[in-house]
Amino acid sequence: MPDQVRFAKPSVLFVCVHNAGRSQMAAAYLTHLAGDRIDVRSAGSAPADQVNPAVVEAMAEEGIDISAETPKVLTVDAVRASDVVITMGCGDTCPVFPGKRYLDWTLDDPAGQGVDAVRPIRDEIRKRIENLVSGLLSEK
């Protein structure tokens, strides 16, 4: 049997302040669209107690259940283990390491918003994730 060359899966970390809205939606879409082809993480610089209920509802409308997700604290190890780090309003609290690709997505914060206000944020995140998936998987 010939030797097979295997490429490591790309890994992406989504970071926002509370890890309760934008980063949770982005991680859920990436997992939904890429399956096991991309490792996905999300975290927050100051995690909330729970995922925003309006975000859970908006994602359920897309057939994606994130009701069991919990906000996670951003760690240096999570950044170190990721190829691409996408920040969404966490400012300077995200550690920077050489050799990582950093993207900053300017998106409205769904904190304190109802589902009607969350839908356009969700839809914008989906568009960006679709572009990200095609880009990451074509680089392999």
Give the gyration radius of the chain's Cα atoms: 15
**Strand order in 84-87's β-sheet?**
39-44, 11-16, 84-87, 101-104
Residue position matching structure tokens 């996670």: 72
CA 42 to chain centre: 5
Residue 10 bears catalytic tag:
no
Residue 90 bears catalytic tag:
yes
User: Catalytic pick from 16, 55, 66, 74?
Assistant: 16
User: Catalytic pick from 12, 38, 43, 90?
Assistant: 90
User: Catalytic pick from 59, 74, 94, 107?
Assistant: 94
Residue 68 bears catalytic tag:
no
What residues are annotated to the active site?
16, 90, 94
